[in-house]
Amino acid sequence: MIVGLTGKNGSGKGEVVNFLSQAGFIASSLSDILREELKNRQKRVTRTNLIALGKELRETHGLSVLADKMLLKIQPDKNFVIDSIRNPAEVKALKKLKNFYLIDITATEKVRFARVKKRKRENDPKTLREFRRLERAETHSKDPASQQLIQTAKLSDFKVANNGTLDQFQNRLRHTIQKISQLIKRPGWDEYFMNIALQVALRSNCIKRKVASVLVKDRRIIATGYNGTPRGIKNCNEGGCPRCNDLVSSGTQLGECFCSHAEE
């Protein structure tokens, strides 16, 4: 499961990361890519610098540049939570991942501003007027390379409100993750057994073709088999079957073929 997070400043995205990390999710953030680049440039990691660098990279390398870099880090067989998704192009790129779902974390302006003041970060706005000014730049820009939180939120699969207590918020998150779990697709039984047959076929030693069979009763595997020379005879790919190793035409000299069928 890959969970992406978007939301306005002070909405509580960090709490989601903490909550899912404790549940075993691997935490990552598009902003981490920007922080690393700022450090390489020997610049201070401030909110203003992060926003400016994000815009610069999108203009230079494409709107999905941060998401494209994140795709290289994701391990699809593990659970990830990705924070700081702020542009629609980033969502579209991450949607290439199987089982990716975007959650928009919401809270009222009053609640969010109170949280921002409480955390007392050096570069956070100190007044409501400044808070609103910065937020308009993050939400209403017409520049496609800038942050576009409103348009990004429209692409979310789920919305989780965070106006109450932490326990209430975590309960909503838990319920949302349960909903996502139910959406994850599993292969049907026929597809499941056919995929096993494909793997079994890789064990074939026949140099002409590789096939396999899986015998099933009541959705339980009874036996598997693949084509090749019988036990006691040298493997086909080691010269055990004269017909296959003579590379004769298909359908000819079948009486000389030592290879057994997969079902045998």
Specify the pLDDT at position 254: 65
Same domain, 105 and 166: yes
- The answer to the question of residue 31 being in a domain is yes
Q: What is the pTM of this model?
A: 0.79
Specify the pLDDT at position 253: 67
14-22: Cβ within 8 A, 24+ apart: 14/83, 15/162, 15/166, 15/169, 15/170, 16/81, 16/83, 16/103, 16/105, 16/160, 16/173, 17/81, 17/83, 19/170, 19/173, 20/79, 20/81, 20/173, 20/177, 21/81
- The answer to the question of residue 13 being in a domain is yes
Q: Where are the beta strands (DSSP E) in 131-226?
A: 158-161, 212-217, 220-226
Same domain, 7 and 127: yes
- The answer to the question of residue 261 being in a domain is no
Same domain, 212 and 116: no
The first and second tokens of residue 22, run together, are 């404790």
> Rounded to an integer, what distance in angstroms lies between the CA atom of residue 227 and that of residue 212?
6
The domain boundary, picked from 146, 164, 183, lies at: 183
Same domain, 226 and 163: no
Same domain, 165 and 205: no
> Rounded to an integer, what distance in angstroms lies between the CA atom of residue 156 and that of residue 185?
19
Q: Where are the beta strands (DSSP E) in 76-127?
A: 80-83, 100-106
Query: How far does CA 244 lie from the centroid of its chain?
Result: 44
- The answer to the question of residue 263 being in a domain is no
Give the three-state DSSP class for 27. Answer: strand
Same domain, 179 and 239: no
The first and second tokens of residue 259, run together, are 């290879």
Specify the pLDDT at position 236: 82
Same domain, 34 and 142: yes
- The answer to the question of residue 36 being in a domain is yes
Terminal-residue alpha carbon distance, the chain = 40
Q: What are phi and psi of 212, to 5 degrees?
A: -150, 165
Residue 102 structural domain: 2-183
Same domain, 197 and 176: no
Question: Which residue in 36, 130, 238, 263 is the catalytic one?
Answer: 263
136-179 residue pLDDT tens: 888 888 899 999 999 999 999 999 999 999 999 999 999 999 99
Per the structure, how many domains does the chain have? 2
Which amino acid, 181?
A: S
Same domain, 89 and 172: yes
State which residues of the chain have pLDDT below 50.
none
Same domain, 119 and 228: no
Active site residue 37: no
CATH number at residue 204: 3.40.140.10
- The answer to the question of residue 10 being in a domain is yes
56-65: Cβ within 8 A, 24+ apart: 58/87, 58/89, 58/144, 58/145, 58/146, 59/145, 62/89, 63/87, 63/88, 63/89, 63/90, 63/144, 63/145, 64/89, 64/90, 64/92, 64/93
Same domain, 152 and 194: no
Angle at 42 between CA 36 and CA 48, to 5 degrees: 70
Contact 85, 7 (CB under 8 A): no
Specify the pLDDT at position 121: 81
Same domain, 21 and 132: yes
- The answer to the question of residue 79 being in a domain is yes
